[in-house]
A and B are shown apart, each in its own frame.
Chain A
Amino acid sequence: MTEEPILKVQEVTKTFGGIIALNRVSFDVHEGEILGIIGPNGSGKTTVVNCITGFIKASSGRIFYRGKDITGKAPHKIADMGVTRTFQVMRPFYTLPAYKNLVIPLFSPRAKRTGGWRGGGKLGDRNTVSIDILEEIGFERDSFVPYKITSALPTGYLKRLELARCLALKPDLIICDEIFSGLSMSEIASMVPLIERLQMDGITLIMIEHRLRELFRVANRIMVLNFGEKLIEGTSEEIMADERVKEAYFGSENVEEVMDHA
């Protein structure tokens, strides 16, 4: 591909004390694609997300978004540029009704700029837009679900709410941190078309997942992390065929062999 990648991660390293969470990880994300990131537990997937979105500062290396250096910028500034994320541990505003959760992102400078919230009327404008976004993401408009208090919603809806919070900002890039985990098969089945539609709308996605089958269905490219290092990057077939990936996931009889590869 010749075009400039939307996100360019260069040699990012993150250490927590003596532990190397990420070791010189580099990858590109191109406009409109879905990049999947997989890896065993503790392989640094969430750390990658945190580094890109500014929630933690990378120890070294650079991250470029549309050619602009965003390394070490504050999270709200990165979100303001259009890079949004969901949290693995969902962080909705539990005490509010579901639709009021979106009033908060709609209050942000980016939502005002991008027209997620079209100013004007005093009464309920943001509320109306919130309900619209929630309908898009699978909350039935005419049911009581969008009006329910958030703490009473099941996990499936909370995951959707996380995604809706990103959508309220009219993002260019969404990073989904394990959006399928904890969902039932039917919930996942209804989530997959949603992801596909986001891609059709021109949104670039990075998806961190443990549910490989669903991920392989939607993702254009997969990257595998193990012990904070990038093992391989490629299509799902290439990944499945790779020996090192199998070892990372299923373990190897010979521990030294794994260490050599890692």
Chain B
Amino acid sequence: MKVNTERRRERIDRGIKIRTDGIYAMMSWRELCYLSAPRLVLIAGMLILPLVMPGMYWQRVITITCIYALLALSFDFLAHFVGLVCLGGAFFVGIGGYMAAILNTSFGLPPLLTIPLATVIGAGVCTLLLLPCLPLRGVYFAIVSLMYPLFAARVIEAFDIFGGTDGILGIDSFSNQWVEQYFVIGVTLLFLFGIRRLVNMDIGLVFRGVKDNDQAIKASGMDITRIKAMAVFIASAMGCLSGACLVHIYMWSGISQFALDFSILPIAATVIGGGGTLVGPIIGCLILVPISELLRDFGTLRIVFYSIILVGFIVFRSEGIMVYGQRKYHQFERWRKV
């Protein structure tokens, strides 16, 4: 292979990107649009999605997509901003789901109350249960967190608690399809922009510090385990919220909520969308979940095609769609002589 040694590609920030970095962005409409257009396109696109979907089936797919998107967001936050690679997404979903189901069927609370309660209490429970594992790092934490959903499913099955293998039936649904969709889309957008704000605040810097340099955090007089627990609380709140929404959508809660799909698919979406961008995982979900539905026609070959698409993305766009997109948006490239 001939390597081109005379020329190299140079990337330069667009002038408009630099102009919009500070307060000067307010000076012209063009700069304001440059800043807000990507965000507005995302928000508008998400809000229009249910309206343009043909039929109930695809509208339901959008809802499920958003549920996965919340999980992917929680994974991305933990993995890329706190340094905890958590494979326990399914655990969060299961805890949130069962919590909402029990609050609804045993205490008769309406979905309006069960969802926020399940989110907060579920997140508390998840954080407490994960607390002993928080000193672990890297692949060790990943493996231990993977055990949690498997463990929970087996416990429910073996002790026949919470309806055992039948699950909990007769859970209230949302009042109608539109409420369901716009609620889920709304919370997804809310958490997306909320987490984005959070990671850029001072506490967000501390979270990122834990990921890059935990010794310096210790030397700064801060308890790493406490900071990690806070981050896990935030992430598991997102997971529990998606679980609580899920049981109200399906009107059923069962051990399939601890299925590994809820752990694995968000990771795939993060890889495709671009880790560390927060919006990337959501875009990844918007691609992956509908694709997996489309591939249902292929029956048993579905997983094969699904894997091919995943491998293709990883080989040809390993940085992720969002990282690639951001680069193209903010910078231009040119060849220059060396």
Contact = CB atoms under 8 A, between A and B. Distances in A.
Given A76-B220, A96-B205, 7 more contacts: A76-B217, A87-B216, A91-B216, A93-B208, A94-B213, A105-B220, A126-B202
Nearest to A53: B219
Interface in B218-241: 218-224
Given A91-B215, A107-B203, A79 B209 contact: no
Contacts of B223: 74, 76
Contacts of A53: 219
Contacts of A126: 202
Contacts of A111: 221
B212 interface: yes
A190 interface: no
7 contacts: A75-B218, A76-B223, A84-B221, A93-B212, A93-B216, A104-B217, A108-B220
Contact of A165 (B203, B205, B216): B216
A205 interface: no
A39 B208 CA distance: 36
Contact of A93 (B202, B209, B224): B209
Contacts of B213: 91-94
B206 interface: yes
A75 B208 contact: no
Given A103-B202, A103-B205, A104-B205, A79 B220 contact: yes
A148 to B, nearest CB: 15
Interface residues of A, number: 31
Given A93-B208, A94-B212, A110 B219 contact: no
A169 interface: yes
A79 B219 contact: yes
Nearest to B220: A105
A95 interface: yes
B222 A100 contact: no
A182 interface: no
B222 to A, nearest CB: 5
A51 B68 CA distance: 46
A192 B58 CA distance: 70
Interface of A: 53, 55, 74-76, 79-80, 84-85, 87, 91-96, 100, 103-111, 126, 165-166, 168-169
Given A91-B213, A91-B216, A169 B208 contact: no
Nearest to A54: B218
Tell which of B202, B205, B212, B220 has the most Cβ of chain A within 10 Å.
B220
Contacts of A94: 212-213
Contacts of A95: 208, 212
A117 to B, nearest CB: 9
A251 B33 CA distance: 71
B219 A85 contact: yes
B218 A107 contact: no
Contact of B221 (A55, A96, A103, A109): A109
Given A93-B208, A107-B203, A55 B215 contact: yes
Contacts of B205: 93, 96, 100, 103-104, 107
Nearest to A168: B220
A227 B218 CA distance: 28
Given A95-B212, A165-B216, A76 B202 contact: no
A163 to B, nearest CB: 12
Residue from A74, A75, A103, A104 having most chain B Cβ neighbours under 10 A:
A104
A110 B216 contact: no
B202 A75 contact: no
Contacts of B218: 55, 74-76, 79
B221 A110 contact: yes
Given A76-B224, A93-B208, A95-B212, A87 B219 contact: yes
A15 to B, nearest CB: 22
Contacts of B208: 93, 95-96
A74 B218 CA distance: 9
